[in-house]
Amino acid sequence: MNDGSKVRVLAIDDNVAIHDDYRKVLCGWSEPPSALDGLESLVFGAQAREPKSNSRLLFELETADQGQEGLAKVRAALAEDRPFSIAFVDMQMPPGWDGLRTIQEIWKLAPELHIVICTAYSDRSWDEIVATLGTTDRLLLLRKPFDPNEVLQIASSLSEKVRLQRISDRRMHELTNLAAELQCVNDRLQDEIEGKEIIAGHLRESATKDSLTGLRNRGSLMQRLEGLPEVGPGCPDRIAAIYVDVDNFKTINDSLGHEIGDRYLMGVAGRLREAQDELRGMESFRIVETYRLGGDEFVVLLVGPISVEELEQAMENLRTSTAEPLKIGQKMMPISLSLGASGSGGRKVQPEALLREADTAMYRAKAAGKGRSAIFDEAMNRELSKRIEIERDLHIAAAESSFEVVYQPIVDLKLGEVVSLEALVRWPKRFGTMVTPDQFIPLAEQNGTILSLGRCVLRRACFMARAWNSSGREGSPVSINVNVSRRQLQDSDFLSDLDRILEETAVPPALLNVEVTESAMIESPEIFLRRLQEIRRRGVRVHMDDFGTGYSSLSFLHQMPLDAVKIDRSFTTHLATRTTSNAVMSCIVMLAHQLGMKVTVEGVETREQARRIADFGCDSGQGYYYAKPMPETDVLRSLEEIRRRLRVVRDSELTLVGPGERVR
C-alpha cells in the first residue's frame, strides 16, 4: 500500500506446514530445509517455487489451525482496531468447523473482510458455495494445488482494492462532514435571510460562481462581456481576454487522482487571484477579473487603455506570479501556464469571437512548447478561419458520408493469423487533401457530428466484416473492431442504432468488437457501466482502448464488463529500454488473464517488439510490423499475404517474415 502500512492477512488451515508456505509467499520468510518442506506440494503443486516480489514486504500474516481460532483472531483484531483485510480459508478442517461455517461466523463480525476460499476439486462446487454464502465481490475461489504467484497476485489485487475502498470511505467521510458543515452554514444563512428577494439574489450569486475555486464561471463571464460598453475610435478603453490553460493537468489528474487534481486547481486559482490583485495596481487596467471556464481553463478579463506591450506585460506577470510550486501534502508541484490573449482594438466586442481568438492564441503558445504566451494576430486569424472552415465542411461531409474507412489487421500471436481488423476513419477533403483524425475527430466530438460519423463507420465496417467472412477465404473468422466515442455512448439512440445496424448488415454480433477509451470510462464509470453491459447482452464484445494511460487502470479494470484490453503504444515503444514498462506490461497481462480478458498490444513496429509481447503472454498484436491500415478493396488479398508471411517458431513464438527476408 502506498502509505507504507502492511496489509493484515489471516490464513486459516488445519495443516500447520501450509502456514509456513503462506509466510514464504506473502512475507518472504524462510527457514532451513526440513522434512516438512515436502508438504508444500499439498497446496502449491509439485513444481511450486517461491515467487520473487518485493510486494511480500507489504503483508503481515497471522495463522489459525481451526475456524474457531480464526474467528477469535478476527475478534481480537477488531478490538485492537487493526482489522484483517484478507483471509485465506481452507474448506476442510476436521474436526472443527468447515470453511463455509468459518466464513459465515467471521462475516457476522467483519462483513467487509475479503475472503479467498482454498479448496480442492473434490470439495464443494462453486454453486454450493454461492448458495450458502450468497453472491458477493468479497469472495474468491482458489483451487488446490495452486502456484505461489496466484496467492501473491490475489493478495496484491485484493489489498489494492481494500486500499482504494479505504480512500473512498475516507473521502466520503470528509464529504459527509463537509456536507454537515455546509448544512449548518446554510441553516444560519437561512435564519439571517429576510424576504424572497434576498433569497433569490443569493441563488443568482451562487449560479455565477464555480463551486470548486470560488471564481466566477463561464456564464458570469459572458454576461459581463455582453454588459460592457462598446469601445470605438473615440474611447481610450480596450477590452482584452487572456485565456489561461494549465499545462500537463491531465497527467496530474490521471496519475495522482481527482482529489489531488482539485486541490491543485484550487491552488492555481489562488495564485491567479494574487496576480489579479497585482494587475489592478497598474494604471492601464481599470478592470481585472478572473473566471474559471471549466476543467483547467481560466480567463482573465482586462479593461482599460491597454497597449500591446502592456498586454504582454500582463501575461508575463501572470506567469511569474504563479511560477512558485504548490505544496500539496508532502509534494511540491510546479505550475506551468500557457497563455493566449486577444484584444478588441477599436471594434465592437463579440464575446464568443473574443474568447475563440484568445483560445486560438493559447493553443499556439502551447504548441510552441508550453509555459509560453501568444497574442492573437493575422496569422492566427487565418488559422482560425481554416478551423471554422474544417468544422463547416465536417458537417457537410457527415451529411454526405464522404469519409473513408481503412482497416488495420490485428494478429493472434498463437494462431499466427489475422483474427480482427480495426476500422479507422479517414477524411480526404477537397482537392485530394487529407485531414488527419487528430484534427477533425475532436471537432466532431465538440459539434456533435461524431454521432452521424460514428453510425456511418459502424455500418460500413459491419457490412465489410460480413462480406469478408462470406468470401470463402481460409482461416478463422475475422472480427471487426470499431471505435466508439464517449459522446456516442452518452447518446440515448446509440443502442437502437446498434440494433438496427446489426440487423441491416446481418453480421453476427460475436464478430463485432466495440472499442472504448479508458479515459471515457473513468470519467463517468456509473453511466458507462450500464451502457457497456447492454452492449455485451447483445453478444457484442467490448474492448478497452489505450489501456494503461489512466489513473486507476488496474484497480478499475475488474469493475468494467470487458472482453479485452488494448495496451497503449507508449508501453510498446519502451519495451526494450525501460524495465518499468516491462514490469507494468507483465502485471497488466497477468491481471487481465485472471479476469478472463484477452490482451492486445498496439504500436508493434519491430521484430523485437513482436517477440517481447509474445514472451509476455499477450494474445494479439497490432502495428506497422504486421500491416499498415489498408483500403477495404485490399483486405482479402492482404490477409492472405500476411498469413503466408507469419510462421510459428520454437516455443510458439510468433515472427513476421518481412518482404525482403527468406524463410528458413
pLDDT at position 298 is: 94
Mean pLDDT of all residues belonging to the chain:
81
Query: Which contiguous run of DSSP H or E holds residue 106?
Result: helix 99-109
Q: What is the grid cell recorded at 268?
A: 492555481
DSSP conformation letters of 440-502: HHHHHHHHSTHHHHHHHHHHHHHHHHHHHHTTT-SSS--EEEEE--HHHHH-TTHHHHHHHHH
Assess whether pLDDT exceeds 90 at residue 389.
no
pLDDT at position 656 is: 47
- Confidence label for 551 from pLDDT (cuts 50, 70 and 90): very low
Counting residues of the chain whose pLDDT is more than 70, the rounded percentage is: 82
Distance of CA 151 to the CA centre of its chain: 27
CA distances from 418 to 477, 512, 516 (A): 9, 15, 21
470 phi, psi to nearest 5 deg: -105, 10
- Confidence label for 300 from pLDDT (cuts 50, 70 and 90): very high
pLDDT at position 553 is: 56
- Nearest by Cα to 464 from 481, 488, 450: 481
Report the pLDDT averaged over residues 638-649: 72
CB 83 within 8 A of CB 62: no
Report the pLDDT averaged over residues 50-66: 70
Q: What is the grid cell recorded at 174?
A: 470528509
pLDDT at position 524 is: 60
pLDDT at position 320 is: 87
Q: In whole angstroms, what is the distance from residue 581 CA to residue 155 CA? A: 22
Angle, helices 378-400 vs 450-469, to 10°: value is: 50
Write the pLDDT tens digit of every residue in 316-371.
989 888 888 998 888 899 999 999 998 876 566 788 888 888 988 898 888 788 88
Q: In whole angstroms, what is the distance from residue 275 CA to residue 289 CA? A: 10
Q: What single-letter amino acid sits at 543?
A: H
Could you give the domains of the chain? 7-163 (3.40.50.2300), 208-376 (3.30.70.270), 389-643 (3.20.20.450)
- Nearest by Cα to 218 from 276, 318, 299: 299
Write the pLDDT tens digit of every residue in 441-462.
877 887 778 888 899 899 999 9
Write the pLDDT tens digit of every residue in 206-258.
678 888 898 999 888 888 888 877 665 556 678 889 999 998 887 787 678 88
| 206 or 102: which leads in pLDDT | 102
CA distances from 293 to 213, 254, 355, 523 (A): 11, 20, 11, 18
Q: In whole angstroms, what is the distance from residue 60 CA to residue 6 CA? A: 6
CB 656 within 8 A of CB 646: yes
Q: In whole angstroms, what is the distance from residue 604 CA to residue 621 CA? A: 7
